[in-house]
Chain A
Amino acid sequence: MSTIPIFADEHWRLPSRGRVGMFSLIIGESAIFTIFVVAYVYYIGRSTFGPTPQVLDVPLFNTICLLSSSLTIMVAERAIARGRIRVFGAWWGLTMLLGIIFLAGTAREWTRLIVHRGLTVRTNLFGTTFYSLVGLHATHVVVGLIMLSLVMLFTLLGRVEQCHAERIEVLSLYWHFVDAVWVVVFTVVYIVGR
């Protein structure tokens, strides 16, 4: 049976473990978000008292900031893949800045809701589901920012090199996921649910 192909070593390519791992994490995280989104949608209009979603303002500026951070992180990825560390650092810093602006916007929104509208997590079902879902997403932004700032720190210390491009790419997958989830949360909370 000489027709059986003898195994050729040079064709043995396996997917990157970082990517496979991160995609698996993203699938798991998606399931967590799905449950929270389902709870939010199911409880729309079921509050027995207290403020309704009409008290929300659409956070357009916030959304634009967060979504454009996906673009800036992509530019940063390209830069490090070509070995331009300073350019990478600049775009990476901009990404972090956009993330921080998003968090600050959320903080301002929550302050307004808590102080002026009297809406807390224990006020009614709307408060419960709103703070849980938006808070879950904000938690993911915080985790993302912690990881981004670690990379920033190493960049400033001069420890990040071109060979780390793949790891940076894996980390940015997580950041893209956080942004993509925001599209869902935004649609459900501020458009469908309002």
Chain B
Amino acid sequence: MADRTLPIPGSLDATRLRDAALLEWLHSWVVTVDHKKLGILYVLYAVFFLLVAGTEAMCIRIQLVVPNNHFLSPELFNEFFTMHGTTMVFLVGMTIIFGIGNYLVPLMIGARDMAFPRLNAFSFWLSASGGLFLYFSFIGGFGLYGMGSAPDITWWAYAPLTEKPFTPGHNTDYWALSLIVMGFGTLGAAINTIATAFSMRCKGMTLMRMPLFVWLMVVTSGLTLITITPLTAAQIMLVIDRYLGAHFFDAQAGGAPIVWMHFFWIFGHPEVYVLILPAFGIASEVIPVFSRKAIFGYPAMVAASVGIAFVSTTVWAHHMFTVGMTSVGNTFFVLSTMMVGIPTGIKIFNWIATMWGGKIRFATPMLFCTAFLFQFLCAGLTGIMLGVAPWNWQLHNSYFVIAHFHYTLTGSFLFCIFAAFYYWYPKVTGRMLSEKLGKWHFWLFFIGFHLTFDTMHFVGMLGMPRSIYTYEADRGWSTLNFWISMGGLIQAIAVLIFAWNLIRSYLDGKEAGNDPWDAWTLEWSVPSPPPAYNFADDPVVRSRRPLWDLKHPDDPDWKYEQ
């Protein structure tokens, strides 16, 4: 029995060695400053909370599946839709874009790491602890019994509901404090992304040769700098109100709750673009590769992205038409909202022009991106409808609004995120995600999505308000709500297939190799998964598609690009 070792008394035995190795492995993840490991941590964290917030959404849908239902208590229902919104926007959306950005930006621009690796780790752990703090509210306060003191103030947290006399206890404090902490984490990540893209590019990677995903991450980060901070400022005011007895949003002492609305939506509207711009970046990487054509109109895409960011900061009060503004105010915000349609339209045309005449391969990433194109178009059209003030007066705070923004955040943002998973998973893990499960995931999610959110438009037009606990049977909403919930169930099954795919393919997926998609950006030139140092030699690029140049020395891109 030569392969058996007898434990020597007093020495480390095998189990302790294994424990020590495990401990060391865990320790390496906690203390890491490597952008790839931090990116993976961000993404895993986001996927975990995607499942949590998805479960909350399912509970909401079970509650609404039939009229006069009592699956959840009214208090818990309020907590669940507040936490669903807050989690999806801050813990899932914000973390997953900065996670994917963290992983890819240095690889795409040929850098060794982010500009500030330690700030990077600090940002992640700030965001992570903010999220855990938010969820601690479920067991904080009165404990799990009655679900503790989770925030139940809606994710936009309008004053004066959030003021101490109206919401005693600590649930608003959990909401505000955890988002302040996460806000600083996000600010750090945004600063880091901008500094990386501007100061860490490899030789020859001029700004106009950067992959569009990097460009979009830069624009998103710039937008984050000026949108997350107003939320932080408003939340600091809220905390001062609640803890020091100040009067920022206290109507009885002359404060104005409407000021909170403005501050919140100055953050809240650009936030949607903060989320959707990286999704545009993902689509701009995936669509060319699977159409076998270079992206159409690269400079126009860059200009449109910057344009969207600028216009998006001037539209916030279209969330407030029903509050009552002057007609000048209404007109301004209607027109500025219409303006967003121009740069977004440019982008949609450019993606279609990229696909036009290409040799399209409908692998799972491309399927998600194609669906994204159509769904984003619909989301934009209902957005323009809601941006017209009189229409908005009719449908504000109805399920039509819910349908509209789930079309942007699920139908556009999440679809692109799924595309990113299928596209870059081979790079991160070295293994392909199963195409078969991927197709199941896509079609089920696609059907479930449309069943849920198409139907929601109608139930909204029939007058069903958002955030209601239950409804009477004679309203005529019952059948539609049943199908909305069934769609939710189908989406849940699809997401479980996706989660199973992530695990199974990691264990025994097909080996990916360096470049499974025959792609053109720098991250595909390194092994999968990339080594800690990323590039063995500093790359030098001469065009937007450095790997094309490498694969086709007879016909390189730099001959044609200016």
Contacts and interface: CB of A to CB of B under 8 A. Distances in A.
- Bound together: yes
Interface of A: 1, 4, 7, 9, 12, 14-17, 20-21, 24-25, 27-29, 31-32, 34-36, 39, 42-43, 46-48, 121-122, 124-125, 127-129, 132, 136
Contacts of A132: 236-237, 240, 246, 248
B199 A15 contact: yes
Given A24-B225, A121-B245, A128-B240, A31 B230 contact: yes
B199 A29 contact: no
Contacts of A47: 253-254
Contacts of A9: 203, 540
Interface string B105-125: 000000000011001000000
B259 interface: yes
Contacts of A36: 233, 237
B225 A28 contact: yes
Interface in B189-229: 190-192, 194-196, 198-201, 203-204, 221-222, 225-229
Contacts of A34: 230
Contacts of B201: 14
Given A4-B559, A7-B204, A31-B233, 7 more contacts: A14-B200, A17-B198, A20-B195, A21-B194, A25-B191, A128-B240, A129-B248
A14 B234 contact: no
B254 A125 contact: yes
A128 B229 contact: no
A27 B203 contact: no
Nearest to B266: A35
A124 B254 CA distance: 8
A31 B199 contact: no
A77 B240 CA distance: 38
B195 A12 contact: no
Interface in B529-548: 540, 542
30 contacts: A7-B203, A14-B198, A14-B200, A17-B116, A17-B195, A17-B198, A17-B200, A20-B194, A24-B190, A24-B191, A24-B195, A24-B222, A27-B222, A31-B225, A31-B227, A34-B230, A35-B233, A39-B248, A39-B263, A42-B256, A42-B259, A46-B255, A47-B254, A121-B240, A121-B244, A122-B247, A124-B253, A124-B254, A125-B255, A136-B236
B225 A27 contact: yes
Given A14-B199, A16-B199, A42-B256, A21 B191 contact: yes
Contacts of B229: 28-29, 31-32, 35
What are the nearest 4 A-B pairs in CB distance? A122-B245, A35-B233, A17-B199, A128-B246
Nearest to B233: A35
Count chain B CB atoms within 10 A of each CB in A1, A12, A31, A124 and give the residue with the most.
A31
Given A12-B203, A121-B240, A124-B253, A35 B558 contact: no
B232 interface: yes
B289 interface: no
B163 to A, nearest CB: 13
B234 A35 contact: yes
A21 B116 contact: yes
Contacts of A16: 199
Contacts of A122: 244-247
B181 interface: no
Given A4-B558, A21-B116, A28-B225, A128 B204 contact: no
Given A7-B203, A128-B246, A28 B187 contact: yes
A29 B231 CA distance: 12
Contacts of A4: 558-559
Contacts, number: 121
Contacts of A129: 248
Contacts of B253: 47-48, 124-125
B446 to A, nearest CB: 38
A32 B199 contact: no
A94 B194 CA distance: 34
Contacts of A29: 229
B223 to A, nearest CB: 11
B544 to A, nearest CB: 14
B145 to A, nearest CB: 34
A110 B226 CA distance: 31
A39 B238 CA distance: 12
A55 B233 CA distance: 26
A82 to B, nearest CB: 25
Contact of A20 (B187, B199, B203, B234): B199
Interface in B249-306: 253-256, 259, 263, 266
Given A4-B559, A42-B259, A31 B244 contact: no
A125 B236 CA distance: 16
Contacts of B115: 17, 20-21
Contacts of A17: 115-116, 195-196, 198-200
Contacts of B187: 25, 28
A147 to B, nearest CB: 15
A118 B336 CA distance: 46
B253 to A, nearest CB: 6
A14 B203 CA distance: 10
B542 A46 contact: no
Contacts of A46: 254-256
B201 to A, nearest CB: 6
A29 B225 CA distance: 8
A35 B263 contact: yes
Contacts of B245: 121-122
Contacts of B244: 121-122
Contacts of B196: 17
Contacts of A124: 247, 253-254
Contacts of A27: 222, 225-226
A152 B269 CA distance: 43
B561 to A, nearest CB: 9
Nearest to A27: B225
A129 B233 CA distance: 12
A17 B196 CA distance: 7
Contacts of B227: 31
Given A29-B229, A39-B248, A39-B259, A24 B194 contact: yes
Contact of B247 (A7, A128, A136): A128
A154 to B, nearest CB: 18
A122 B263 CA distance: 21
A65 to B, nearest CB: 27
Count chain A CB atoms within 10 A of each CB in B115, B245, B254, B263 and give the residue with the most.
B254
